[in-house]
Amino acid sequence: MTAPGSTARRVLPRVLLLNGTVGAGKTTTADAIGALLRERGLPHAVVDLDALRRVWPAPSDDRFNGALLARNLAAVARNAWDAGADRLVLAGVAETVEDRSALEEAVAETIVTCRLVVTASELRRRLLVRHGPGAERDWHLDRAEELDAVLDGADVHDHVVSVDGDDRGRVATAVLDAVGWGPPVR
């Protein structure tokens, strides 16, 4: 424990999870954060968790392929650390404390989470632009509402950043500032 008034540096988690409902901008923000970290010369990796779980069909008892995600993330994180990454930016969803713990176990690090929130009207607009008419669009619209409600009641977020009306660079900077990964003090 650090004594009051101590000048010891606070150790920040090396892993950031951008959490939020479908359409909130997790992947877009992760890519923008990666660009900012690159500009600052900070070794990192950006991982879209959906890509690590995308196998069909999912087991009937694991709707979103969480077990596969954990195995794949463990390998990707290990390889990123071995390749010299100092930070890991994850874009995905943790609905529960157990989900967050599984991700922490997979990366072998403590995770700081930042939920990206967007108004219902903006979320709907984004999903209508992203998905043409049909079953996939309808699924995403339904899932966005369902997941937003789940995340409202979840105790997994360290920080929350609104993404309405802001460009990706501003959102990325706001997230980095919120989690303590902003520019170093010189």
Q: What are 82-118's pLDDT values in tens digits? A: 999 999 999 999 999 999 999 999 999 999 999 999 8
Q: Pairing state of beta strands 159-162 and 87-91? A: unpaired
Mean pLDDT value of segment 47-60: 95
Q: Would you say residue 173 lies in a domain?
A: yes
Q: What is the pLDDT of residue 185?
A: 38
Q: Would you say residue 184 lies in a domain?
A: no
**Number of structural domains in the chain:** 1
Q: Would you say residue 76 lies in a domain?
A: yes
Average pLDDT in the chain: 87
Q: Which CATH number does the domain housing residue 60 bear?
A: 3.40.50.300
Q: Would you say residue 92 lies in a domain?
A: yes
Domain extent at residue 120: 15-178
Out of 29-43, 45-59, 112-126, 150-164, which region has the weakest mean confidence (pLDDT)? 112-126
pLDDT at 176 exceeding the cut of 50: yes
Q: Would you say residue 186 lies in a domain?
A: no
Q: Would you say residue 23 lies in a domain?
A: yes
Q: Would you say residue 25 lies in a domain?
A: yes
Mean pLDDT value of segment 148-154: 88
Q: Would you say residue 183 lies in a domain?
A: no
β strands within 4-152, DSSP E: 15-19, 44-48, 87-91, 111-117
Q: What's this model's pTM, rounded to 2 decimal places?
A: 0.87
